[in-house]
Chain A
Amino acid sequence: MTADGAASSQAAAIFKRRPGLVAWLVLAPLLAWLILFVIVPTIMLVLLSLGEQKGLGTVHFTFTLKNYVRALDWTWLKVLVISVGYALVTTGICMVIGFPAAYFIGRSSEPLRNVLLTLVMIPFWTSFLIRTYAWITILSKEGVLNALLVSARIIPEPIGILYTPFAAVLGLVYNFLPFMILPIYTSVERLDSAVIEAAYDLGAGPLRAFSQVIIPLTQPGIVAGALLVFVPSIAMFAITNLMGGGDPPTIGDVIYKQFTSGRNQPFGAALGCLLLLIFFLSLWITRRQRAE
């Protein structure tokens, strides 16, 4: 702990030194990118959320808070709760599946590890929309899975799997699982097996070694993975619409509709800002956890 502290104070000292011109030049592309594509759009979103839409679609900047007042109505909060629920379930399942997978990959031999990592990343080579459509052909009533189950006489007749909340969660888990596996894997890879052996030597059972040694040491990976899954799956609406049938509605879908058929861009922006707030909140919580 003391070594860590010393290192961080040293790091702080480096940060206190004013960066030179070269450092700024190296940073410039990143800074420009951040300003153009993160800061400016966020400011625009906040400004838009304070406006009012008139007629066919022109927005008047009246600096009203009424969009936020409306956004806090139960109609919309309920949608938000549904979306957060979807995201939490997805994150939980990803963690349960992802941790053992990542642990196994991280502990396996070098050649096998590379093969397994490639397998995890292969789905990224195809657009997620195409993969989602593939799921539709698998899960539909006249699809591959039902045909298999019926011919194997496991079920008497095809069952409706597609267009249920189950299918929506399946789609989310499928798409976001790699985001959980990869960060945990990096933590596991750095995990020193000597520490685990030491735990056993000191009389800890497998359960204790897992909960008191492995989990705390891989926690940064777990937290990062959870964030990477949780945050995008709240706002994801393509998968929930295509595989869940758009019922119940999710916040991403509702925001999208405000910008299109709902004809209320400022209100959509206000909902977007609420979503941003949730993201910051989850970031802050994980930060605090890490600090502890």
Chain B
Amino acid sequence: MKEVARHVVLPFFAVLAFFGCEKTPAPPSASPPATPSPAAANLASPATSPAGESTGDAEKTLHIFCWSEYIPQQIVEAFSEESGLKVSVETYSSNEEMLAKLFAGGGNYDIIQPSEYVIEGLIKEGLLTPIDHARIPNMKNLAPEFTNMSFDPGNKYSVPYMAGTVGIVVNSELVQDDIKGYNDVFQEKFAKNIVVLDDAREIVSWGLESLGIPVNEVSDENLAKVKPVLEKWLPLVRVFDSDSPKTALLNGDVALGIVWAGEGAILLNEDQKFKWIVPADGAHLFVDSLAIPKSAKHVQNAELFINYVLRPNVSAKISEAFPYLNPNVAARELLTPAQRNNPASFPTADQLANMQTFKDVGEQATKIDELVTSLKAQ
């Protein structure tokens, strides 16, 4: 009897293993190639498309709604070619813009790319589709510190795409001082020589950090504490720009600024004179994830795409175009040493530990906006 059981069970496991293989990625994409060059070469090569990935929805379309300047067109085209899906991409330039379109009955999006605090809110309101982890085996490529984050425990609804920080860029030809934190930036001698992000929540978070207050504690009381700080800071600013703060720095119109790390990384690549400084006071870490809205019509195609961008070689390509903090460890190994050692793209573990992510602050967002507007117009 035992003999019989063994004969039945063994083939059973063999069959299981076989089907299991179909669901998990084939080795080529799991273990990164030894040389970094293939990252560029075989985006659409069949070796990287295991059989398990090829099942999608009956309807061969996918509608992506993502940040502008975040998913390279080349990646979208390569995915479309490989999967045979017709992919359309629409972009937005702020989380709130995306939400507005989503709420306006945008049932047409299969993938959205919200930041952490928006994911939290969307989950709370039940607006996301849970993700089938079995269909996204490449999730194993993600660094452990970027999975199971507080805004989505267990990654039930979202998969990190890129992360990044906010930090200080200094043009060392114009500024010799040792800049360490926000207070060093906002000095009288740099008046009208500073670019900052045109983002009220960011600006308020710098003030909070300089006072040692956690960035998510935006009570009226704390906002009142931040007010005198910002009152001194904001008149010193020359340019408020969230879209392309690097322009003012590149053209020499300002000497220093507080910008997105992705922009900072580009500046560092552009010219040695730019230095990246992670504020000693602490900084904001943002994580933009891919998620599937409840109203999505092509959930399986969306999962196919998510799994695709998590491939090491694809993710490395994205890093090359937009040098943010890539949560994909397998992809990091494919980057050139210069890319990997860019301090703006990849902060050290110590620096990361000192960073805070934003939580949804609800209606306080209105007060934050009012505070900053009134101080800008003073």
Contacts and interface: CB of A to CB of B under 8 A. Distances in A.
B67 interface: no
Given A56-B121, A82-B377, A259-B96, A241 B366 contact: no
A241 B251 contact: no
Interface in B213-263: 237-241, 247-248, 251-254
Contacts of B195: 245
A163 B373 contact: no
A131 to B, nearest CB: 16
B366 A247 contact: no
A20 to B, nearest CB: 40
Contact of B369 (A142, A248, A258): A258
B241 A265 contact: no
A29 interface: no
Given A75-B370, A247-B240, A140 B252 contact: yes
A160 B103 CA distance: 43
- Size range of the chain A interface in the assembly: 35 or more
B363 to A, nearest CB: 8
Given A75-B374, A160-B253, A247-B376, A261 B365 contact: yes
B241 A79 contact: no
Contact of B251 (A54, A76, A162, A265): A162
A141 B253 contact: yes
Interface in A75-97: 75-76, 78-79, 82
Contacts, number: 109
Nearest to A143: B251
A248 B97 contact: no
A57 interface: yes
A56 B99 contact: yes
A264 interface: yes
Given A75-B370, A82-B377, A267-B366, A140 B253 contact: yes
A78 B192 contact: no
A57 B373 contact: no
Contacts of B363: 54, 263
B251 A141 contact: yes
Contacts of A8: none
B201 interface: yes
B30 interface: no
A267 B366 CA distance: 10
Contacts of B240: 241, 245-247
B96 A247 contact: no
Contacts of A203: none
A210 B199 CA distance: 50
B316 interface: no
A195 B22 CA distance: 91
A257 B369 contact: yes
Interface in B337-378: 360, 362-363, 365-366, 369-370, 373-374, 376-377
A262 B200 contact: yes
A74 B201 CA distance: 22
Nearest to A265: B100
Contact of B241 (A54, A246, A254, A267): A246
Interface in A122-149: 136-137, 140-143
Contacts of A246: 198, 239-241, 376
Contacts of A249: 373, 376-377
Interface string A263-286: 111010000000000000000000
Given A248-B376, A261-B94, A55 B369 contact: no
A247 B238 contact: yes
Given A141-B252, A248-B377, A163 B239 contact: yes
* Residue of A58, A137, A162, A259 contacting most chain B CB atoms (<10 Å): A162
A264 B362 CA distance: 11
A58 B103 CA distance: 7
A197 B240 CA distance: 55
A62 interface: no
Interface in B66-100: 94, 96-97, 99-100
Contacts of B376: 246-249
Contact of B94 (A79, A163, A247, A260): A260
B200 A163 contact: no
Interface in A142-195: 142-143, 158, 160, 162-163
A261 B251 contact: no
Nearest to A160: B253
A160 B192 contact: yes
22 contacts: A54-B363, A55-B121, A56-B99, A57-B103, A75-B377, A78-B377, A136-B251, A143-B251, A158-B252, A163-B254, A241-B241, A245-B239, A246-B241, A247-B240, A257-B373, A259-B100, A260-B94, A261-B94, A262-B365, A262-B366, A262-B369, A262-B370
Given A76-B373, A141-B251, A249-B376, 9 more contacts: A56-B118, A140-B253, A160-B192, A162-B253, A163-B253, A245-B195, A246-B240, A247-B240, A247-B376
What are the 8 tightest A-B residue pairs by CB atom distance, in nearest-first order? A140-B251, A245-B239, A262-B369, A246-B240, A141-B252, A75-B374, A260-B96, A263-B365
